[in-house]
Amino acid sequence: MRKYFGTDGIRGEANKELTASLAMKLGYALGYYLKKENNNKKKIKVIMGSDTRISGYMLRSALTAGLTSMGINIDFVGVLPTPGVAYITQTKGAAAGIMISASHNPAKDNGIKIFGSDGCKLLDKIEEELESYMDNLEEIIKEPLDGDKVGSFKYAEDDYFLYRDHLKSIVKGDFSGMKIILDAANGSAYRVAKEVFLSLGAEIVVINDAPNGKNINVKCGSTNPEILSKVVIGYEADLGLAYDGDADRLIAVDEKGNIVDGDKIIATLAVSMKNNDNLNGNKVVTTVMSNMGFESYLNENGIVLVRANVGDRYVLEKMRNQAANLGGEQSGHIILLDYGTTGDGIQTSLKLVEVLRDSKSKLGEIVSKIPEWPQKLININVGDNIKKNNWNKNEEILKQIKIKEKELENEGRVLVRTSGTEPIIRVMVEGKNLNQVYEIADFLSKIIRDQLI
């Protein structure tokens, strides 16, 4: 178990769990690691960006203090989607990239995601190394740099255009004649998504694009697309596209206002890519959470589904192992390796609209062919991480899971896993029989509550 890092960086309530002190420690640790890895080069550069949360300023300052005191130079690119920071890091040959964001979480939370020079999230073993430095701070700062040798901080907000132009470049032709609603979640996508779609000739309406530091993800975006559904219907639009706070996720809404999750977006892209001989090995990588109906649809279309652990970093790892170029999560993290190194909501939305344009089909028509087996997910807050991390040592819980798995036989499954960032155990049950799925999910959730709370 890692002490500070979860499945997607360090995350917690800003100023309580994710404090300025913790961010500064991370800055020291990352600076020390980068100097070691780069043989103490005099000029080591890091790209830093953030979403629109008010606490981003606090964490940026703390990280900057730690990094610059270790001699690291920082280019701050401003408010930008997480994949934009990853892209600029790789494009400009920086030693690392840092994104300050808690993604889809509420405004009071924040997080710190770190990318390597290749634009990919750090390996677990590197995060563990950083944690060891954070816990031995006296050792790594015992020989401070002279005051005239510390690192610099500069605003590099024009680097935004590198990412914007990259997004425009991945589309062949334009989107003239298409009416699209964008939900920017009052987050990182509020500027770039609008500019890209307008430049491609689409008729667009943008909602939730007025961030104030506190309204990010509030009743909007990929986690709350209900208002977007109503706007799509009201404007008689072709579809709606909802991003999360740092724009690394996409959830779509079809022309009738129906919500289209990551599984169905991936399936739509996969079949199109296969038909155009662009799907490497006719394989797709998703997580253990992806729907079994989605898997059966892929199989019917000659596409093999490979499952990875939850978290887009693990999806990427499996994609590389399998030489796959499409993967993602039901939640809307979708990786198109031909164009980027991490989940990118805007990039995915551009390729989705491209498929609709080229096929002359409505999104609802396409996704109606993708079966969705009944699935129920229950989140159980067990109060602390010790209980969360030891649930699988409870004999009664394990016994009841086995019994219920046998009841489902080969027409369903039970998946119990823990949250990477909160003291939560997730119980997911899936199968062909709706009543059976709900009964088993409720039963197992009660067992876990009785045993652990």
Same fold, 5-159 and 375-452: no
Rg (CA), the chain: 22
What average pLDDT score do residues 334-339 get?
A: 97
Whole-number percent of the chain with pLDDT over 70: 100
Q: What is the pLDDT of residues 354-403, one digit of tens each?
A: 999 999 999 999 999 999 999 999 999 998 888 998 999 999 999 999 99
Q: What is the pLDDT of residues 102-149, one digit of tens each?
A: 999 999 999 999 999 999 999 999 999 999 999 999 999 999 999 999
> String of b and e for 42-69 (b: at least 16 CB within 10 Å)?
eebbbbbbbbbbebbebbbebbbbbbbb
- Locate the domains of the chain by residue range: 5-159, 170-367, 375-452
The answer, yes or no, to whether residue 421 has pLDDT greater than 80, is: no
CATH code, 375-452: 3.30.310.50
What average pLDDT score do residues 301-307 get?
A: 97
Is 55 noted as a catalytic residue in this protein?
Answer: no
Q: What is the pLDDT of residues 150-173, one digit of tens each?
A: 999 999 999 999 999 999 999 999
Q: Which CATH number fits domain 170-367: 3.30.450.20, 3.40.50.970, 3.40.120.10, 3.40.50.2300?
A: 3.40.120.10
Q: What band does 43 get if pLDDT is binned at 50, 70 and 90?
A: very high
Greater confidence (2 vs 37) lies with 37
Q: Write down the pLDDT at residue 410.
A: 77
Domain range 5-159, CATH class: alpha beta
User: Which residue type is seen at 19?
Assistant: T
In angstroms, the CA 29 to CA 138 distance is 11
The answer, yes or no, to whether residue 431 has pLDDT greater than 90, is: yes
Q: What band does 1 get if pLDDT is binned at 50, 70 and 90?
A: low
In angstroms, the CA 335 to CA 312 distance is 8
The residue from 103, 117, 272, 331 that is catalytic is 103
The answer, yes or no, to whether residue 316 has pLDDT greater than 70, is: yes
Q: Write down the pLDDT at residue 453.
A: 87
The answer, yes or no, to whether residue 312 has pLDDT greater than 90, is: no
**Among candidate residues 185, 60, 174, 170, the one with its CA nearest the CA of residue 110:** 60
Mean pLDDT for all residues in the chain:
95
